[in-house]
Amino acid sequence: MKLLLAPAVVVLAIFGLALAALFQWSLREFIPGSLQTGGLTLANFRGVLAPQYLGAIRDTVVLSALTTVLTLVCAYPVAYALARTPSRRVRSTLLVLTIAPFFTGAIVRTYAWVLVLGNTVVTWPVPMLFTERGVLVGLVHFSMPTMILILAAALSHVDPAYERAAASLGASPARVFRRVTLPLSMPGIVSGGLIVFAWTLSAFPTPELLGGGRVKMIANVVRDLGLDSFNWPGAAAFAMLALVLTLALLTVVGRLSAGRTS
Amino acid sequence: MRSRIVGTLLVALVALPLLVQPAPAQNALVVSVWGGNWKNTVESVIGKAFTAKTGIPVEYEVGGTIDRLAKARVAKGNPLVDLNFTTTHVARLYISDGLYAKLDMAKLPSTREIAKEAFRSDFHVGSWAYVYTVVYRPDLVKEDITKWSDLWKPSLKGKIALPDFDPSHIITIAALMEGGNEINWQKGEARLKQLKDSVAAFYSTDAQSQDLMKTGQGPVQVMLSVNAYHLQEQGIAVKLVQPSDYPGVVGIDTMAVMAGTQKADAAHQFINLALSREIQTELVKALRAGPVNTGATVPASLKGQPGIFLSAAEWKERGYIMNDEARAKNLPGWREWFTANIVKK
């Protein structure tokens, strides 16, 4: 049994070492124009607390929260139809449409949004491309398939007899949904929400391509610092800070949702 | 039985990366270069001629500028590649970390014919040149753009795209306009801030720059001349400006021999061949970049075009060359200032 755990321990050890290496980089002095680093310092952490970097963290959290809520709202009806439709053909069609984006890849999907959100195909009343709005659209679209599948799985475990019983006792469809379906699908909402929130926190290609350099999320800033400014200690410090914040946020959200589902 | 299965799985896990990445042939010269058109050109123009001449096969490590730098740093002292192509200011980072070997000029007779601007240091030498200049789509911008200062015209508001991964070009031009340069670049700060509202987008890669031009989202750009010529070849009608007020900002890609390589002689032969008249002539045709060998033949259609310098006078008059060291040192600070003051809404 212990031997079966060995691969997982090896992987954990490798990740642990990588994290330790990142941490030691974050404590090294950055020397502009050189790859050499100086002695130990906390200056990198002070540097990444500048308003522009904190702004990127704020934007990331706000965009992640909005993405989670909007994805949930958009995905729920599709998931409900997928779980409840009696027609096999409709279910198959919905399933294929849901899964299809997985086969195109994030970059291709995002490039398609560059064309749609720009004013070449549609003339938008407000600017969409290279704004938070555009990035939000891209993130919601990116997250939809996963959320639909998680919600559909949760909804398929809700016995329709409960809904029928509520309706037979005089509850309106809206009341049935609010008092029966929604609470019973809460485990799916929580797990789907957590997954979407967590991966949106680390989103890279969507803000990179749809943000036009103006919308920066955490991963984009780490890349900028490390690869464009050659400031590897700064990038490591920002990555560590983001990691701690992400873990803290996920813990808070996880505890809140655990309370809600119980 | 169970422990044998687990053991096999562990061995497979460890061996997998070795299977995925084939090891280079033992006698091959390994060249590190950017991907896409850059690698294809180096391979077809220099690599094949080199192998035909010396019998030494050439293999390529392809990647982005900083990915390759990171790999080189990790492999320090026991390099994975023998010869490196990179931009001249990034080469300063290699040099600062002792990753390059000093060039043996006695083994590089072709350097007798190259422009003095191509001698970047004792460790790296230019392979070709280009400029960052104003490029625009006349079908989407109805007025002529003829100089850098035109970028500040109110009519171009919301049409300009700039590189944010390296804003050194526009920062230097703004400084030059205010009587400064890349050393005392702060002189151009106020002027740069006036450009803020005109910028539609910022790009992080050459591919993004070309996409912005193709889709019309950034029809006026501070753009790499090589990319602009590439767009023209693809049928996108872009116009390269030879600015009448200040020159284009020159970029020089360079070659260097890695410190610790066992194939320093072959690497020198490769560089020497790359700098020869014949190969430089072919490189100009393939890349639409300027030759560093002043004896190279340039197609008539490219003569006098931005980024193509054929004489000492042209290098001096039509191109502004930044100080490599100042650029490498200032870039992190420039990016920080640029992000806070120009990119941020």
- A8 domain residue, yes or no: no
d(CA B218, CA B207): 13
| Whether residue B13 has pLDDT greater than 80 | no
**CATH code of the domain in which A245 resides:** 1.10.3720.10
What's the rounded Cα separation, in Å, for the pair A242 and B342?
24
Output the pLDDT for position A44: 93
The predicted pLDDT at position A260 comes to: 61
Q: How confident is the model at residue A12 (pLDDT cuts 50, 70, 90)?
A: very high
B23/A25: higher pLDDT: A25
Best residue in A44, A220, A230, A231 to probe B by mutation, most B CBs within 10 Å?
Answer: A230
What is the separation, in whole angstroms, between the first and last Cα of chain A? 33
The verdict on B97 touching A (C-beta cutoff 8 Å) is: yes
The answer to whether residue A212 is domain-embedded is: yes
In sequence order, what are the residues at sequence separation of 6 or more whose Cβ sits closer than 8 angstroms to the Cβ of residue B38? B85, B287
Three-state secondary structure call for residue B125: strand
Under 8 Å between Cβ of B132 and B253: no
pLDDT of residue B34: 93
Q: What is the pLDDT of residues B25-73, one digit of tens each?
A: 678 999 999 988 899 999 999 999 999 999 999 999 999 888 899 899 8
Longest distance between any two alpha carbons in chain A, whole Å: 75
- Chain A residues with CB inside 8 Å of B331's CB? 32-33, 228-230
B211 or B253, which is more confident?
A: B253
What are the structural domains of chain B? Answer: 2-126+253-297 (3.40.190.10), 130-250+323-343 (3.40.190.10)
Q: Is residue A199 part of a domain?
A: yes
Q: How many other C-beta atoms lie within 10 A of the C-beta of residue A51? A: 10
- As a whole number, the mean pLDDT across chain B is 90
Mean pLDDT of B74-93: 93
Q: Is the pLDDT score of A175 beyond 90? A: yes
Q: Which residues have CB under 8 Å from A123's CB, separation 6+?
A: none
> Mean of the pLDDT values across residues A112-129?
86
pLDDT at B9: 44
Taking CA–CA distances from B76, the nearest residue in chain A reads A35
Residue A254 inside a domain? The answer is yes
B153/A contact by beta carbon, under 8 A: no
**Mean pLDDT lowest for which of B14-18, B154-158, B239-243?**
B14-18
B292 close to B280: Cβ distance less than 8 angstroms: yes
**pLDDT of B10:** 46
pLDDT the model gives residue B25: 64
How far is B289 from B291, CA to CA, in rounded Å?
Answer: 6
Residue A35 located in a structural domain: no
Cβ distance A162 to A184 under 8 Å? yes
Question: Where does residue B10 rank: exposed (0-12), middle (13-18), buried (19+ CB within 10 A)?
Answer: middle
> Which residues in A lie closer than 8 A to residue B202 (C-beta atoms)?
212-214
Contact status of B332 with chain A (Cβ, < 8 Å) = yes
3-state secondary structure of A71: helix
% pLDDT > 90, chain A: 68
Listed by number, the residues of chain A in 85-124 with a beta carbon closer than 8 Å to a beta carbon of chain B are 111, 114-115, 118, 120
Question: Are A35 and B96 an interchain contact pair (Cβ–Cβ within 8 Å)?
Answer: yes
Mean pLDDT of A40-62: 90
Is residue A30 one of the residues assigned to a domain?
Answer: no
* pLDDT tens sequence across A208-257: 999 988 899 999 999 989 888 889 999 999 999 989 988 898 888 778 77
Q: Judge whether B208 is closer than 8 Å to chain A, CB to CB.
A: yes
Token pair in block for residue B77: 């002292």
Predicted TM-score (pTM) of this structure: 0.78
The ipTM estimated for the assembled molecules is 0.70
Q: Is B74 on the interface with A (CB under 8 A)?
A: no
Q: How confident is the model at residue B19 (pLDDT cuts 50, 70, 90)?
A: very low
pLDDT reading at A120 higher than 80: no
Domain presence at residue A22: no
- Residue B23 reports pLDDT greater than 60: no
Give chain A's domain count. Answer: 1
Q: Give me the domain span that covers residue A67.
A: 42-261
Q: For residue A151, is it within any domain? A: yes
* Alpha carbons A256 and B45: distance in angstroms, whole number: 62
The reply to whether A126 touches chain B by the CB within 8 Å rule is no
By CA distance, what is B66's nearest residue in A? A227
Confidence band of B5 (pLDDT split at 50, 70, 90): very low
